[in-house]
Structure 1
Amino acid sequence: MVAAILLSALAMSVIVGVRYLVASGGFALATRIRQPGLYRGLERQMGREVRWSLLSAFIYGVPAGIVAWGWQARGWTRIYSDINDYPLWYLPLSVLLYLLAHDCWFYWTHRWMHQPRLFRIAHAVHHASRPPTAWAAMSFHPWEALTGAIVIPGLVFLIPIHVGALAVVLTVMTIMGVSNHMGWEMFPRWMVRGPMGAWLITASHHQRHHEYYACNYGLYFRFWDRLCGTDKGLGEFVKARA
């Protein structure tokens, strides 16, 4: 049993690492095509981001692998594979519930990481990326990576979710984590500057966090930032790069 758990944890770490390399590499390639020269001179920084991120991938993979084994071998979780177990309308609702819960967890742990002592110990690793690049999405100190690694594995014990809906959650998490750091906005202006952008976080919103630190802590939604008075609007990429 122990060997099976260890193998599952190792396999999941490899999967998370490959997912990071593919996603960040894809967005880095898109940046090279759409914003040529944006990452010029940042080669050493990007190498550091990749190394921290691969370490984070291992940390993320361990609890995920243990939970995956428990789901398959012991039925520990509330993940289900038969789409008829719950009404079809619950599929999108479960995705939304996971994103809302993850966003809440991220906001408060992220804000906690900005306490001076914790920032020096852990979160400074992430903010060493100045400006952040597409490779910085998982560039965390191990202590910070651990706070992020436990949230989705924890939620599968509490909120029922279809395995396909869980894949959607992980895909959204990956895309938003990478695109929010790549240094330019991939979403159209009408979305970012319009009513939808007033509540959704994109790269323009997270850019301001990397400019001023004590604001814009959210991951997917601006709800907590607005409620707690930490929403400072959208950043300007040209000014930040200059």
Structure 2
Amino acid sequence: MNIMEALKQITVIQLILLSIVINLFLFFLSVGCYMLFSRFSRNTPLQGGLQKVTSGDIRLSVLVTGCNALVFIVGYSLWQRDILSVGDSANVFQIIMEVIFLVIAMDFLMYIFHRVAHLPLFYKLFHLRHHQHESTNAISLFVLHPVEALGFGGLFVLVLFIYPFSYPAISIYLFINLLWGTIGHLDKEILPKRISVLLQSGFLGTTRFHNDHHKLPHYNYGFYTVLWDRIFGTLFPGNAGEKAGGGHRG
């Protein structure tokens, strides 16, 4: 019996415990990366100061971590029942191509989901809570309405129905997702300004890119890239952090 077959045999209780352990690990990994990046970055803060961590933020981040665990359980259960397929073998080139596809596909779907979340009704019901963090702290990434957390997770499960992505590609993508989400919610850039501006003007969504979105909520809806914002005309034309000051609040 190989490892994939063994993993299919775990019980419901084991699956729940596994999901909780994995998602707690990812939560603390994100917090640790945030603190590490913030400590060693010599760049000036993008906002006036760190967002205060409130008891409400902590409770919500715990709830969102639980929602992420639930998405994992649902996806895993679908795989156990052969409703969702995952490949167990792939060469390096195939893994790289699968990761690229996952990043681009999820970036597009999350862009659409994010724009819908900014429609007036949905914004007030769900997304406003995240934008109350005008600056950031170590758990800002997890300060979301539970509906949003389940929605983002549901999009990923949906993409997995398209093609039997290999588990190395899925694992790498999930790490990129966590890392990029953490970087996007830092209080200052980890790269020198020239490099950061060059990356953002080219393809990648940097810390400043998402920070600008928190200041000017009608721009920069993308996550990993600026591609969809360029195509659909929602990329902020300039550096909001320097030219627009505090901007308008969403």
TM-score, normalising length: structure 2: 0.82
Over the matched positions of the two proteins, sequence identity in percent amounts to 22
- Pair 1:172–1:129, CA change in 2 (3 A): same
Give the letter aligned to residue 108 of structure 1. I
In structure 2, the gaps of 5 or more residues are 1-9
- Alignment match, 1:152: 156
Equivalents in 2 of 1:93, 1:135: separation in Å? 31
Which of 45, 51, 54 is equivalent to 2:59?
Answer: 51
Which consecutive segments of 4 or more residues in structure 1 shift more than 6 A?
35-41
Give the deviation of 1:44 after TM superposition: 3.5
User: Contact 1:191–1:197 at 8 Å: present in 2 too?
Assistant: no
Equivalents in 1 of 2:227, 2:60: separation in Å? 29
Equivalents in 1 of 2:177, 2:78: separation in Å? 23
SS at match of 1:213: coil
Equivalents in 2 of 1:41, 1:157: separation in Å? 40
SS at match of 2:190: coil
User: Contact 1:218–1:224 at 8 Å: present in 2 too?
Assistant: yes
User: Contact 2:53–2:137 at 8 Å: present in 1 too?
Assistant: no
Q: Which has the higher contact order (CA 8 A, sep 6+)?
A: 2
Equivalents in 2 of 1:90, 1:211: separation in Å? 39
Where do residues 98-177 of structure 1 align in structure 2 (5 Å cutoff)? Answer: 98-177=102-181
Superimposed CA distance per residue, residues 23-63 of structure 1 (whole angstroms, 9 cap, x where no aligned partner): 12331243245469969674444x43332222111112212
- Alignment match, 1:77: 84
- Pair 1:75–1:217, CA change in 2 (3 A): same
User: Contact 1:79–1:163 at 8 Å: present in 2 too?
Assistant: yes
Give the deviation of 1:10 after TM superposition: 5.0
Where do residues 172-211 of structure 1 align in structure 2 (5 Å cutoff)? Answer: 172-194=176-198, 197-211=201-215
Alignment partner of 1:31 is 2:38: yes
Q: Larger deviation: 122-131 or 54-63?
A: 54-63
Equivalents in 1 of 2:199, 2:18: separation in Å? 42
Aligned residue-pair number: 234
Equivalents in 2 of 1:13, 1:212: separation in Å? 35
Alignment partner of 1:18 is 2:25: yes
User: Contact 2:200–2:209 at 8 Å: present in 1 too?
Assistant: no
- Pair 1:12–1:186, CA change in 2 (3 A): same
Q: Larger deviation: 158-167 or 198-207?
A: 158-167
Give the deviation of 1:6 after TM superposition: 5.9
User: Contact 1:94–1:159 at 8 Å: present in 2 too?
Assistant: no
User: Contact 1:79–1:161 at 8 Å: present in 2 too?
Assistant: yes
Give the deviation of 1:125 after TM superposition: 0.8
User: Contact 2:117–2:126 at 8 Å: present in 1 too?
Assistant: yes
Aligned Cα root-mean-square deviation (Å): 2.8
SS at match of 2:133: coil
In structure 1, the gaps of 5 or more residues are none
SS at match of 1:75: coil
Give the letter aligned to residue 26 of structure 1. C
- Pair 1:41–1:195, CA change in 2 (3 A): closer
Equivalents in 1 of 2:110, 2:50: separation in Å? 31
Alignment partner of 1:236 is 2:244: no
